[in-house]
Chain A
Amino acid sequence: MTPHSDITHITVVQGEARPLVDAAEEPQVMTFPHLVVRELIAFLALSIFLVTLSLVWDAPLEELANPSVAPNPAKAPWYFLGLQELLHYYAPFISGVLLPGVVIGALAVIPYFDINLERKPLWDGTHTRLKLAGIWGSVVALTALFYFTAAHPVWPIIGPLWATAIPMSLPVFGRRSLPFWIFLWFLLCAIALTVIGVFFRGPGWEYTLPWRDGIYT
């Protein structure tokens, strides 16, 4: 306050609301050298792996692009082959726009989805019958959906559905939450679709066996 001023300024400082480091009383080490050295080792291991790979395996290069000669099959890179495999079952709008849109949307809202916040175990002893009925009702409905609405029954989605629903119903795995099982189902579907698309599809998007016919790219 300067003597010339007759106005008093009051500033209200709010307490900081910042998340605290979870636990303060656990063993800590100096970042330098302990973490820095580990990061360096991880980086070197990755580099050695990639350099070795690049020395022994050449990136593909085919003929000059030719818009009038379509290769058969024409495959996208591996991370899109799950989607391309879905194109075999559903019209492009469903397989290329709707389903991926739903999956990306679902991924983004995971943390805002109420049940998720607490990650409550499914079998906590409450409403067990109701939950079982809900689960198996949904499983049957989804199975019907993916069996009847597609050009071919979508086994790479129905299979993982049952593979998730069965252990989900067992009290042994009762500590797992609903989001856990849904994510697991998505993950298994993505793996199944991708593996089929990469290894088991050939000309005309017909099934092939990689050990008999090789891998089509």
Chain B
Amino acid sequence: MNRVFRSIVRHGFPDTNRNRSLAVFTNFFLHIHPVKARLRAIRLTQTWYLGGLSAATFFILTVTGILLMFYYHPSVPRAYEDMKDLEFVVSAGVFLRNLHRWSAHMMVALVLLHMIRVFFAGAYRPPREFNWVIGVMLLLGTVLLSYTGYLLPWDQLAFWAVTVGTNMADAVPVIGGDIKFLMLGGNGVNENALLRFYVLHCVVLPAALLVGIAVHVWRVRKDGGIYLKKPESNE
């Protein structure tokens, strides 16, 4: 038994500092952390764990999203009927849909709060300036992900919210009409738009965001861990 266990984790029980270090850096998922952390950096009031919780909502959304995909067809009016099936036919279907939807709103809120926290901490300054820019891209990605998902239930709320949004694309000078056409696969919100939003929502944007988050978190490490004020100064 011990041999099997050792083949998986490759270190002993983490009751010595040596094994605790090994537990972190020989573990694929934990090795984003250094083996030791500054006490101030891990306090709740330093980051409110907002970046980590943004990533956590992304994880919850991935799991619930994949489950939802088993019950969803991106076509008209089947998409709407699938929502009704989730409500009346699928076991815990309503709960699944609720969890995905509220987590999506939560993610937008957490990412915004994370950005505000980072700004007021002054953590956007060198050497972290480009990570801030990556953050801005992640914010855009998060909002787009949420917005493309909004159309998928194909109810009145979905249809008109997306109509309001894509009409704004029309206001871009010269190429506005073309942008809108490209987004929708047509001149109005129709079945082609549903398919495009579905592919963006389930494949393109999550993949892009996953890579973006990986780079972002990697750079936090490369920039010397999260930013802390010099202990004696107020700057």
Decide: A46 near B87, CB < 8 A? Known: A30-B35, A32-B14, A62-B156.
Answer: no
Closest-by-CB residue of A relative to B160 is: A74
**Total number of residue pairs linking A and B with CB closer than 8 Å:** 212
> Cβ of B167 and Cβ of A92 under 8 Å apart?
yes
CB contacts (< 8 Å) of B108 on chain A: these are 79
Closest-by-CB residue of B relative to A83 is: B168
CB contacts (< 8 Å) of A50 on chain B: these are 57, 60, 99, 102-103, 106
> Cβ of A61 and Cβ of B153 under 8 Å apart?
yes
CB contacts (< 8 Å) of B20 on chain A: these are 30-33
Count how many chain B residues have C-beta atoms less than 8 Å from C-beta atoms of the other chain: 90
Instruction: Please measure, in the bound complex, the distance between the C-alpha atom of A116 and the C-alpha atom of B60, giving whole angstroms.
Output: 36
Contact with B along A172-188 (1 / 0, CB 8 A): 00010000100100010
Instruction: Please measure, in the bound complex, the distance between the C-alpha atom of A60 and the C-alpha atom of B158, giving whole angstroms.
Output: 10
> Cβ of A111 and Cβ of B161 under 8 Å apart?
no
Decide: A59 near B97, CB < 8 A? Known: A84-B164, A111-B129.
Answer: yes
Cross-chain contact of A59 among B102, B125, B143 (Cβ < 8 A): B102
Closest-by-CB residue of A relative to B111 is: A79
Distance between A9 CB and nearest chain B CB, rounded to angstroms: 30
Instruction: Please measure, in the bound complex, the distance between the C-alpha atom of A34 and the C-alpha atom of B126, giving whole angstroms.
Output: 29
Cross-chain contact of A92 among B52, B98, B99, B171 (Cβ < 8 A): B171
- The answer to whether the Cβ of A125 comes within 8 Å of any Cβ in the partner chain is no
CB contacts (< 8 Å) of A91 on chain B: these are 171
> Cβ of A22 and Cβ of B230 under 8 Å apart?
yes
Interface of B: prevailing SS: helix
Decide: A42 near B37, CB < 8 A? Known: A22-B228, A104-B136.
Answer: no
CB contacts (< 8 Å) of A61 on chain B: these are 83-84, 87, 153, 155, 157
> Cβ of B80 and Cβ of A64 under 8 Å apart?
yes
> Cβ of B155 and Cβ of A64 under 8 Å apart?
yes
- The answer to whether the Cβ of A170 comes within 8 Å of any Cβ in the partner chain is no
CB contacts (< 8 Å) of A97 on chain B: these are 168, 171-173
Contact with B along A102-136 (1 / 0, CB 8 A): 00100110111000110100000000000000000
CB contacts (< 8 Å) of A51 on chain B: these are 99
- The answer to whether the Cβ of B216 comes within 8 Å of any Cβ in the partner chain is no
> Cβ of B30 and Cβ of A18 under 8 Å apart?
no
CB contacts (< 8 Å) of A70 on chain B: these are 160
- The answer to whether the Cβ of B3 comes within 8 Å of any Cβ in the partner chain is no
> Cβ of B163 and Cβ of A74 under 8 Å apart?
yes
Closest-by-CB residue of A relative to B128 is: A111
* Chain A to chain B contacts (Cβ below 8 Å), 25 pairs: A19-B222, A21-B225, A22-B228, A26-B39, A27-B39, A28-B38, A30-B20, A30-B21, A31-B34, A36-B24, A54-B99, A59-B94, A59-B101, A62-B156, A62-B157, A65-B154, A70-B160, A79-B112, A84-B164, A93-B173, A97-B173, A110-B124, A111-B125, A119-B125, A180-B120
4 smallest CB-CB distances across A and B, nearest first, come from A111-B129, A92-B171, A65-B159, A54-B98
